[in-house]
């Protein structure tokens, strides 16, 4: 069933003894941290890039200094299509190096992502395709393959735990659950304080735009989630939870010790539910944590945050 043209790989699905012990019930991990570009993003972005390539795209343009930019760069290299990524001045040297390592051109412009995004969009010419990091149905379709793989394994989770930035991953998970006839499987969506744009929107019943992102989990830092994410939370059984930066960072450290995989605080937010709030899972027979990964965090940075979160 694996699509040979797909740019992502099928990732391991394992039961975690350590997390199961915390939760008192089986906790399974979908290890998308092991995707070649370091995060699940290649599922959706790879699917979108493949489709746009078939429609004749001559160049891909992105404005993400994070995992989405790395995924576009990776996809472009695989498809032999040039990639330009415009990033703000605040982007780390490591993130820029990871994008360049995939052969993409990096342009540094603007103090904030908004400014880099404006430049990126203004550079789009006739044969170019602009890639949105989370608000594109093709991206959601690609992310949904994660649930297809879980369904193929025969394990039906009692609940799925997933981190939310702009909501593309969450929309894909819901799509995947629905297309595998698992509409009854609820989702716990997690964000960090200061990047909680979905939690606030769910509470208000309409899309809320944050004034600023104050969490260190910048990967979750979409000031406004996509419309589809709010709509999904209203049609699919969904609970929203917000954790502190400290809890997210601490979960990354525990996960490194338990599973020897380094993930970003963006991913730590989901792991923190199991490590710190296992009572959240009491009513479910089992849980599946989407280990979404993240390539821009280093061990040194994680240690610095652990000493001094925010
Ligand atoms: C992009 C990303 C997220 C959030 O995904 P959205 O589709 O923006 O909600 C979470 N974790 C990691 C590691 C990411 O790269």
pLDDT in tens, 221-243: 889 999 999 999 999 999 999 99
Domain assignment of residue 3, yes or no: no
Tens of pLDDT along 21-51?
999 999 999 999 999 999 999 999 999 999 9
Measured from the Cβ of residue 202, the count of other Cβ atoms closer than 10 Å reads 20
Identify the helix (H) or strand (E) that includes residue 256. Answer: helix 245-259
* Atom 3, ligand 1: residue with shortest CA distance: 165
Find the residues whose C-beta lies inside 6 A of ligand 1. Answer: 39, 41, 67, 134, 163-170, 219-220, 222, 264, 266-267, 292-294
Q: Is residue 68 part of a domain?
A: yes
Determine the atom of ligand 1 nearest the C-alpha atom of 134.
Answer: 7
Mean pLDDT within 77-100: 95
Name which of 158, 149, 155, 146 is nearest 25 in CA terms. Answer: 158
In a domain, 50, yes or no: yes
**Tens-place pLDDT, residues 239-265:** 999 999 999 999 999 999 999 999 999
Place of tokens 């780390």: 92
**Residue ending a domain, choose from 106, 133, 160:** 133
Q: How many domains does the chain have?
A: 2
| Cα(37)–Cα(102) distance, integer angstroms | 9
Residue 2 reports pLDDT greater than 70: no
Residue 109: name the closest of 120, 97, 101 by CA. Answer: 120
User: Does residue 1 sit within a domain?
Assistant: no
Ligand 1 center to residue 256 CA distance, Å?
Answer: 19
Residues 288, 247 share a domain: yes
For the four alpha carbons of 207, 208, 213 and 214, in that order, the dihedral sign comes to: negative
Please check the confidence at residue 214 and state whether its pLDDT lies above 70. Answer: yes
172 and 248 both lie in a single domain: yes
Query: What are the φ and ψ backbone dihedral angles of 160, each rounded to 5 degrees?
Result: -115, 135
- Structural domain containing residue 158: 13-40+138-307
CA atoms of 17 and 78, how far apart (whole Å): 36
Q: Which residue shows structure tokens 């006839």?
A: 181
Last residue of a domain, one of 78, 99, 133: 133
Taking residues 53-61, report their average pLDDT.
97
Domain co-membership, 31 together with 69? no
Is the same domain home to 143 and 248?
yes
Q: Measured at the alpha carbon of residue 88, what is the angle toward residues 86 and 93, in degrees to the nearest 5? A: 95
Distance in Å, CA 76 to ligand 1 centroid: 20
Tell me the residue length of the chain.
310
Any bridge partners for residue 136, and if so which? none
Rounded CA-CA distance 68/74 in Å is 10
Find the CATH number of the domain harbouring 36. Answer: 3.40.50.1100
269 C-alpha vs ligand 1 centroid, how far in Å? 11
Q: Considering the domain boundaries, does residue 4 fall inside one?
A: no
- 13-15/187-192 β-pairing: unpaired
Q: Which atom of ligand 1 is nearest to the CA of 293?
A: 13
The dihedral sign for the CA sequence 255, 37, 66, 205:
negative
My answer on whether 164 and 238 are in the same domain is yes
DSSP string, 77-146: HHHT--EEEEE-TTS-HHHHHHHHHTT-EEEE--SSHHHHHHHHHHT--TTEEE--SS--HHHHHHHTHH
Domain boundary among 91, 118, 133: 133
104 Rama sector, left if φ>0, alpha if ψ -120 to 50, beta otherwise:
beta
Ligand 1 atom with least separation from CA of 229: 9
Name the residue with the closest Cα to ligand 1, atom 7.
168
Task: Let me know whether 77 and 175 are in one domain.
Answer: no
Grade residue 184 by pLDDT with cuts at 50, 70 and 90.
very high
Which atom from ligand 1 is nearest to the alpha carbon of 166?
A: 8
CA of 125 to the centre of ligand 1 (A): 28
199 and 255 housed in the same domain = yes
pLDDT value for 310 = 57
pLDDT of residue 218: 87
Give the pLDDT score at 116.
92
* Residue 172 CA, closest ligand 1 atom number: 7
| Strand residue runs (E) in 131-260 | 160-163, 187-192, 238-243
Q: Does 46 lie in the same domain as 36?
A: no
Q: What is the CA radius of gyration of the chain?
A: 18
| Among 107, 108, 51, residue whose Cα is nearest residue 81 | 51
What are 295's two structure tokens?
A: 């390539």
Of 208, 149, 212, 206, nearest to 176 by C-alpha is 149
Q: Cβ(191)–Cβ(236) under 8 Å?
A: no
The 3-class SS string of 258-279 reads HHCCCCCHHHHHHHHHHHHCHH
């Amino acid at each position: 069933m694996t699509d040979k043209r797909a740019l992502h790989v099928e990732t391991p699905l394992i039961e975690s003894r350590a997390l199961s012990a915390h939760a008192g019930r089986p906790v399974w991990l979908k290890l998308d941290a092991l995707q070649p570009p370091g995060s699940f993003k290649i599922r959706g972005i790879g699917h979108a890039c493949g489709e746009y390539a078939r429609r004749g795209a001559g160049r891909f343009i992105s404005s993400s200094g994070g995992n989405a930019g790395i995924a576009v760069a990776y996809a472009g290299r695989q498809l032999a299509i040039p990639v330009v990524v415009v990033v703000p001045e605040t982007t780390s040297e490591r993130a820029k190096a990871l994008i360049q390592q995939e052969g993409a051109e990096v342009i540094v412009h603007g103090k904030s992502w908004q400014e880099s995004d404006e430049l990126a969009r203004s550079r789009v010419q006739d044969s170019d395709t602009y890639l949105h990091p989370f608000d594109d149905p093709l991206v959601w379709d690609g992310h949904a393959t994660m649930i297809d793989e879980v369904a193929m394994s025969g394990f039906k989770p009692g609940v799925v735990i997933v981190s939310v930035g702009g909501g593309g991953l969450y929309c894909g998970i819901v799509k995947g659950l629905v297309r595998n006839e698992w509409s009854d499987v609820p989702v716990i969506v997690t964000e960090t304080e200061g990047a909680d744009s979905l939690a606030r929107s769910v509470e208000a019943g309409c899309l809320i735009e944050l004034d600023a992102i104050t969490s260190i989990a910048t990967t979750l830092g979409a000031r406004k989630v996509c419309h589809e994410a709010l709509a999904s939370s209203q049609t699919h059984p969904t609970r929203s939870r917000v954790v502190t930066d400290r809890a997210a960072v601490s979960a990354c450290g525990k996960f490194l010790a338990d599973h020897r995989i380094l993930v970003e605080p963006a991913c730590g937010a989901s792991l923190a539910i199991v490590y710190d709030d296992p009572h959240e899972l009491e009513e479910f027979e089992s849980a599946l944590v989407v280990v979404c990964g993240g390539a821009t965090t280093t061990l040194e940075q994680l240690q610095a945050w652990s000493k001094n979160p925010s």
